[in-house]
Amino acid sequence: MERLSRVSVLVVEDQELVREALAALLSLQSSLDVVGQAASGRIGVEMAARLRPDVVLLDVQMADGDGIWATREIRQTVPACRCLLLTTFAKDSYLAEGMAAGASGYLLKDAPTREVVAAIQTVLAGGTWIAPGMTGRLGAILQAEPISERERQVLALAELGLTNREISRHLFMAEGSIKNLFSEVMRKLGARNRVEALARARERGIIG
């Protein structure tokens, strides 16, 4: 009966040392039961469908199916499962994309075990857990207009130092269209010029 009352957790992390350390620490908690470990997002999705855990902890950056993609897939396959994203970087883009994908929380990898446990308990109760220091940015991030893939490409090329004319040739678009894309990006980012737009794009993790 004790096992049935414990919270089942699946750990999805491509770095073996980090994955095993996290699983070991969580296994020491009397309220938690680590039911599996996966070395990629794709394997994590498969294991979640089979094991149907209460909570899945997922690294954001993984080669074979990143954590945001895996979160979306898991939430579609096992709607009752709660997903907590883990990352080394406090990027606004990870937070926004993760929440849009259906994640219930966002943790930094250097979080103490007690914080991870508290996050698990919070999301199981229907709440949301955001890493300390990012909570004040959540509202603005979720309200921000998304940057399109084409706009992201233009920003990335501008970050490399290309002019509008060079970007237009690279993307096979009219130079006027590139200028219009930049104007739209500046509006979305609340930037007054190209330099400020690139700086804000870097801050949000859109480029760089």
Full-model pTM: 0.66
Q: Which helix (H) or strand (E) holds 170?
A: helix 164-171
* pLDDT, tens digit (0-9, with 9 covering 90-100), for 44-99: 999 999 999 999 999 999 989 899 999 999 998 999 999 999 988 777 767 777 88
Q: Which domains does the chain have, with CATH numbers?
A: 2-142 (3.40.50.2300), 145-203 (1.10.10.10)
**Whole-angstrom distance, CA of residue 67 vs CA of residue 44:** 9
Whether residue 137 has pLDDT greater than 70: no
* pLDDT, tens digit (0-9, with 9 covering 90-100), for 16-38: 999 999 999 999 999 999 999 99
pLDDT score at 177: 93
**Whole-angstrom distance, CA of residue 90 vs CA of residue 60:** 11
pLDDT band, very low/low/confident/very high, at 2 (cuts 50, 70, 90): very low
Across 113-120, average pLDDT = 94
**Whole-angstrom distance, CA of residue 164 vs CA of residue 185:** 14
Average pLDDT of the residues of the chain: 87
